[in-house]
Amino acid sequence: MDTAYSLDSLRTTVHAWRRDGARVALVPTMGNLHDGHLSLLERAGALANRTVVSIFVNPIQFGKGEDYARYPSTLDADREKLAAAGLDLLFAPNLDALYPGGIEEDTRVTVPGLSNILCGQYRPGHFSGVATVVTKLFINIQPDIALFGEKDYQQVMVIKRMAHDLLMPVEIVGMPIVREPNGLAMSSRNEYLTAEERLRASQIFANLNAAAAKLERQDQSLIAIETAAMAVLAAAGFRPEYFSVRRAEDLTAPRVGDTSLQILAAAWLGGARLIDNVRVELTRPLATL
C-alpha cells in the first residue's frame, strides 16, 4: 500500500492508474477506522480497479464547541488495517494541503435547503464543510465512484445533490450501516461512550424499529410516532435532538401516497452525539399524516 501526503504525489499516482485504464474509487474518511469503513473499502474493490482512502479530520465541518480538538487520531492503526485490507493508496494530507488559503477565508461549497434541516439545524455550517472538502477530493482524485456510509444518511443525500448540481462525473454509492451486535450503529464517536452507555445506546436503533412498525400499521399519526420516540429516549437518559419521519428520496416531509420513508434520529448520550436511521418500505401507501 502506498501513502500520499501531498496533492502532487496523489495526482501522480492516480494519473498513472488512469493512463493504464483503471477505474478509480474513493472512500473519504476522518480516520479511526472501524468495520463500517472497511465494508466501504471491500465494496470499492468490487466496483473499481484501484481505490483511494482519504484520512483527514476536516476542521470546517465542526462547529464551535464540538469535538474537533479531541476527535480520535489513530493513523498508524488505520494504516495497518488498510494495508491488511489490500488498499492501493492512502491519502493523508495536512491542513495546509487542502486549505491553502486558511480555513477562515477558504472558498465554501453549499448545498441549499437540504443542508439546513435535521442535523443541519443543530450543526450550522456542518454540511457546507462536508461539501467543501469532498469537492476538493473529487477535483484532485477525479474518482469514477465514491462510497459513503448511510449512517450519515443526510450526508449521502447532500453529496449526491452536490455532485448532480455541479455536474460532477462521479457515481455516489451509499452503503448499508454496519452495526454492533446490540444494534448500535458503528461510529468513530462510539469511543466517547462508557461501557454502560454503549449498551444503552442500542435503544436508538430499537426505537427506530418500533417507529417503523408503527408506520407499517398506520394506526398513529406521524407526529404521535415522533413525539413518543423522543419521550422514550429522554426517559432513558438521552438528550434527543430530533426523531423524524421523512421521504427517503429527498428528506422532505412525507405525503399521502408515499411508500418509501426514512426515519432519522439524533441524540446525545454522555459525551457522544449519536445518529442513526432506518428505511421503511410500506406495503401499502401512506393513507394519512
pLDDT digits over 236-259, tens only? 999 999 999 999 999 999 999 999
pLDDT in tens, 195-240: 999 999 999 999 999 999 999 999 999 999 999 999 999 999 999 9
Q: pLDDT grade, residue 20 (50/70/90)?
A: very high
pLDDT in tens, 92-105: 999 999 999 899 99
Sign of CA dihedral 228, 232, 237, 241: negative
What is the rounded distance in angstroms from the CA atom of residue 271 to the CA atom of residue 212? 27
Which residues, at least 6 apart from 139, have a Cβ–Cβ distance to it below 8 Å? Answer: none
Helices (H) and strands (E) in the chain, counts: 10, 9
Per-residue model confidence (pLDDT) at position 185: 98
Catalytic member of 15, 34, 37, 164: 37
What letter would DSSP give residue 61? G
pLDDT in tens, 38-92: 999 999 999 999 999 999 999 999 999 999 999 999 999 999 999 999 999 999 9
Tell me if 162 sits within 8 A of 235, measured CB to CB.
Answer: no
Look up 37 and say whether it is catalytic.
Answer: yes
Going through the chain in order, the beta strands assigned E by DSSP cover: 2-4, 24-29, 50-55, 89-91, 145-149, 171-175, 239-247, 260-269, 272-281
Per-residue model confidence (pLDDT) at position 78: 98
What is the pTM for the complete model shown?
A: 0.96
> Domains plus CATH for the chain?
2-175 (3.40.50.620), 188-281 (3.30.1300.10)
Per-residue model confidence (pLDDT) at position 40: 98
Tell me if 111 sits within 8 A of 235, measured CB to CB.
Answer: no
Q: pLDDT grade, residue 282 (50/70/90)?
A: very high
**Helix, strand or coil, per DSSP, at residue 74:** coil
